[in-house]
């Protein structure tokens, strides 16, 4: 028999879990959706208010796309679907995507 003392650590080692990634909702320009409709969707789905809604819309119009907001993945994906369903029902090709932040 050996006389070695065996020490058992009392504290459990907890593996570190990465923080859930956040997702950017991006709005894309198109040639058909009316500006007012885009602003209405931004207010209704993303709660931007009128002024921020206008600025997001005009940025997408001028530059091709604009980040609308950042959310947890399921919220971002639900809002993208809701916004695109509204647009589809109204007959417009308005597009949003949810993309993970780097």
Q: Which of 23, 25, 26, 38 binds ligand TYC (CB under 6 A)?
A: 38
Alpha carbon of 34 to those of 40, 58, 64, 94: distances in Å?
Answer: 10, 11, 15, 9
Instruction: Establish if 39 lies at the interface with ligand TYC (CB under 6 A).
Output: no
Which is nearer to ligand TYC, 34 or 100 (by Cβ)? 34
- Looking only at residues 41 through 100 of this chain, which bind ligand TYC when binding is defined by CB under 6 A? 57, 60-61, 94
Which is nearer to ligand TYC, 38 or 84 (by Cβ)? 38
Q: Are 30 and 87 contacting, i.e. CB atoms less than 8 angstroms apart?
A: no
40 by DSSP, 3-state: which? Answer: helix
Q: Name 86's bridge partners.
A: none
Which is nearer to ligand TYC, 31 or 101 (by Cβ)? 31
Which is nearer to ligand TYC, 25 or 94 (by Cβ)? 94
Q: Half-sphere exposure of residue 29, counting CA atoms within 13 Å on the CB side?
A: 12
- Looking only at residues 15 through 34 of this chain, which bind ligand TYC when binding is defined by CB under 6 A? 27-31, 33-34
**How far is CA 91 from its chain centroid?**
23
User: Contact positions toward ligand TYC, by CB under 6 A?
Assistant: 27-31, 33-35, 38, 57, 60-61, 94
């Amino acid at each position: 028999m050996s006389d070695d003392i065996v020490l058992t650590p009392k504290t459990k080692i907890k593996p570190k879990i990465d923080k859930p990634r956040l997702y950017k909702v991006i709005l894309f320009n198109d040639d058909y959706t009316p500006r007012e409709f885009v602003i209405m969707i931004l207010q209704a789905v993303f709660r931007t208010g009128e002024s921020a809604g206008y600025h997001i819309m005009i940025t997408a119009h001028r530059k091709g796309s604009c980040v609308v907001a950042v959310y947890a993945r399921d919220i971002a994906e639900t809002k993208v679907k809701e916004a695109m369903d509204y647009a589809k029902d109204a007959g417009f090709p308005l597009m949003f995507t949810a993309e993970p932040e780097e």
